[in-house]
A = this chain, B = another copy of it.
Amino acid sequence: MRVVVPFDGDDPKTSLSPVLASEQRHAFAAAMLRDVLDALDSVATGFDIDVRVLSTTPLDADTLGRFASADSLAVSVTVDERPLDAVVNAAIDAAGPETPVAVVMADLALATPEALGRLLGVPTDAPEATAGDVRIAPGRGGGTNALVVRHPDFRVNYHGASYLDHLRVASEVGASVFEVDSMRLSTDIDAPADLAELLIHGDGESTAWLRDSGFEVVAAEAGAAVRREHE
């Protein structure tokens, strides 16, 4: 299976601008990307996966970390400056109708090998693994955080409440949909409030980066929030 990971190398995570400067957003986004690649590396799929990071800019060795060189996981980088939909749909076209394509967002820093395994469909003989021409892990607010395309006519459309759009597209092309029900895949780290989720549930590089940057969880009236102790 081909797994594509779209990544904004230009100006990542602008929605975190209220709490992180540009340089910090670059470092944090890169740490999240490595967390996602780490989790993909640990999925015991029983089938080959090749991972392509689809980046708007070339990525240096620091950004890719151990995945910059040959490693257990085959990771390649394709630079494509076009908008997200065009880039992902080109990747689906390039894979051809016989190759399933998974699209995993680079800010799913809470993704575990287990959650990604459920997305990709392992163990392969489980009923939940074979269900769905299109498999979608919805994000909060109607987003599509991860999906697997196993139907030749399905193409993505990430504008607006993309989850509902993707249901519509699937229906139009006659593709069945399976929902991958995962809190971890539903939590894209986008807004400042999402940082609390990472601090509570994360254990990867991006969580360590946040802690090192002075962020910590504080109990708030309606749940948890984050506070920054130092910069």
Contact = CB atoms under 8 A, between A and B. Distances in A.
B181 A223 contact: no
Contact of A138 (B15, B201, B219, B222): B201
**Which of the listed residues A137, A183, A187, A219 has the most CB atoms from chain B within 10 Å of its own CB?**
A183
Taken together, the copies of this chain in the complex come to 2
Contact of A142 (B140, B160, B185, B224): B224
Of the candidates A161, A164, A222, the one having the most CB atoms from chain B within 10 angstroms of its own CB is A161
Nearest to A182: B181
A191 interface: yes
A101 to B, nearest CB: 22
B182 A219 contact: no
8 contacts: A15-B222, A138-B183, A141-B196, A142-B217, A161-B200, A181-B182, A183-B186, A190-B222
